[in-house]
Amino acid sequence: MPKEIITSSSSPTTGFTDKATPSPLAQAIRWNDALFVSGQGPLDPETKEVVSTDIQEQTRQTLSNLGRVLDAAGASFANVVNMRVCLRDTSDFPKFNEAFAEFMQGEKVTRTCIGGTPHRAGVNVEIDCIAMFD
C-alpha cells in the first residue's frame, strides 16, 4: 500500500516561516495501519496567526488542530498511541498538562514532552502524534 497524504482544510498546515509560502510538509501521512501527524501548533486555521500567549489556550488550539487532522484521516484521539510535545518554556508544563488532561478527557496515550524552541515566534507548544488503525 503506498503512503496516503492526509489533508484537513479546517486545520492549518505548518512548516513555513512566511504565511504566503506553501508548506513543504504533509499534515499527515497514512502508511498501512499507521498515521503519522506532523507537529501542530496554536494557529487559528483561518488567519494562521497564533491564537494567544496563554499556554492553556495555545494547548487547546494545538490539540483542536491535531484533532481535525486526525478526523480527516478517519481517526480520533482514541487511535493515538504516541504524542510528542515541545514546550518553548518548560516552566509552562504544569499549566500545559492541566489543559492537556482536560482536553483528552481520560483518553490515554504515551507521551514525551521536551523543552525546545518551536520554529515560529509566539508558538509556545507544538504537538505531533502517531495513530494506529485496526
Residue-range definition of the domain harbouring residue 114: 4-9+24-132
> Considering the chain, what is the average pLDDT of its residues?
93
- Is 18 a member of any domain? no
Residue 15 is assigned to a structural domain of this protein: no
SS3 track for 45-99: CCCCCECCCCHHHHHHHHHHHHHHHHHHCCCCHHHEEEEEEEECCHHHHHHHHHH
Q: What is the pLDDT of residue 104?
A: 97
Point out the residues of the chain with pLDDT beneath 50. none
Domain count, the chain: 1
Residue 80 lies in a domain: yes
Number of residues written out for the chain: 134
Tell if the pTM clears 0.85, that is, is over it: yes
Instruction: Residue 60: give its domain's CATH number.
Output: 3.30.1330.40
pLDDT of 17 reads: 60
Residue 116 grid cell = 525546545
Is 102 inside any structural domain?
A: yes
What is the C-alpha to C-alpha distance for residues 66 and 60, in angstroms, rounded to an integer? Answer: 10
